Structure 1
Amino acid sequence: MPKVLIMSDSHGLVEEVQRIKERHADEVDAIIHCGDSELPINVDVMSGMYKVGGNCDIDNRFNEENNFVIGDLSFYVTHGHLHDVKRTLMPLSYRAEELGANVICFGHSHIAGAELVNNKLFINPGSIRLPRGIVEKTYATLYWEELSDATVEFYTDQGIVLPDLTLTVDLSAGE
């Protein structure tokens, strides 16, 4: 069963990012950081991740977007500040459509949440440093066995699942 770890907006945290990576190291196929790490692109803790730059990242070697395939899902990752994500998901949706992505991972708003819109799964893992909307500092995982049964789980920075934020969706409808 493919599984992906998604985090964002860690704003300079190193030990916390490392702890989250280690916590899930044996169970995930990929790790995504949706920007605003505020760390150099080549720092050890960021190695092995799909990553993008955010509006607070000063290392200009980060790409603004990243798209790739894991298993049978096509991912599009961006921070979101260039797509007005605090107001609407429409520009992000259009860009994902151009790239053929069915999972969109982004940050910027620091608001944890996942939703299925027009057979595209939007995931904002929240922030492990400065959450908004809830008290808990969060990150997320996405796992699926079949496209008809994809699940997003949110965790506190301490690794505790937040069941009220869990979302299970059917991504096979658009096939």
Structure 2
Amino acid sequence: MKALVLSDSHGWKKEIADIISRHKDSVDIIFHCGDSELEKKSPELQGIKVVKGNCDYADFAEDIIETVSGVTFYITHGHLYNVKMTHVPLSYRAEEVGATVACFGHSHVATSFEENGVIYINPGSIRLPRGRKEQTYCICEVDEQITVRFFERGGNEVKDMRKIYARKKF
């Protein structure tokens, strides 16, 4: 199972369309972690699970819980969980909903990490990255393990950011 995760595109349309076009045939689901700044009916967002960010005015959900091929994803923008300061409130919510993977944006800092058996992913920003120069998004692949691969906006993998996690077994 593969999920494409992007966030914080802040009004960009062509760039979203390019990324979706590049990967749509190789992923099972696409998530946008907010601050698209696009209308809900925008063609670029059709078929994508989108949450509302602090810069969005469209009527998107504040969060999404989606199970794909037995993998539960929790998607939120992160501003309601103060993710620029701490990941603790987000971790409580992710654990509460039984997430395998929790995806968030808001900080524009591309990262992935594991805490208490949950994999956390911030795909960074395809428009205004912080912490690194690359404008990033990611693909999360779940099979016997969980592989998180980051890509710069043009589609090249940022190889030093790739991480592989053991999959939590129940």
Q: TM-score, normalised by structure 1?
A: 0.95
2:159 matches 1:160: no
Q: How far apart, CA to CA, are the structure 2 residues paired with 1:137 and 1:92?
A: 24
Q: How far apart, CA to CA, are the structure 1 residues paired with 2:167 and 2:113?
A: 11
Correspondence for 1:121: 119
Q: How far apart, CA to CA, are the structure 1 residues paired with 2:81 and 2:72?
A: 19
Give structure 1 stretches of 5+ with no counterpart.
none
Correspondence for 2:31: 32
The C-alpha deviation readout for 1:115-154, integer Å capped at 9, x for no partner, is 01110000000000000000010000001222xx110000
Give structure 2 stretches of 5+ with no counterpart.
none
The CA RMSD over aligned residues, in Å, is 0.8
Shift in Å at residue 26 of structure 1? Answer: 1.1
Is the 1:36–1:55 contact (alpha carbons within 8 Å) kept by the matching residues of 2?
A: yes
Alignment partner of 2:146 out of 103, 125, 150: 150
Alignment partner of 1:103 out of 95, 101, 104: 101
Shift in Å at residue 171 of structure 1? Answer: 2.0
Is the 1:38–1:58 contact (alpha carbons within 8 Å) kept by the matching residues of 2?
A: yes
Q: How far apart, CA to CA, are the structure 1 residues paired with 2:146 and 2:48?
A: 21
Q: How far apart, CA to CA, are the structure 2 residues paired with 1:165 and 1:63?
A: 29
Runs of 4+ in 1 over 4 A off after TM superposition: none
Q: TM-score, normalised by structure 2?
A: 0.98
- Equivalenced residues, count: 170
2:19 matches 1:49: no
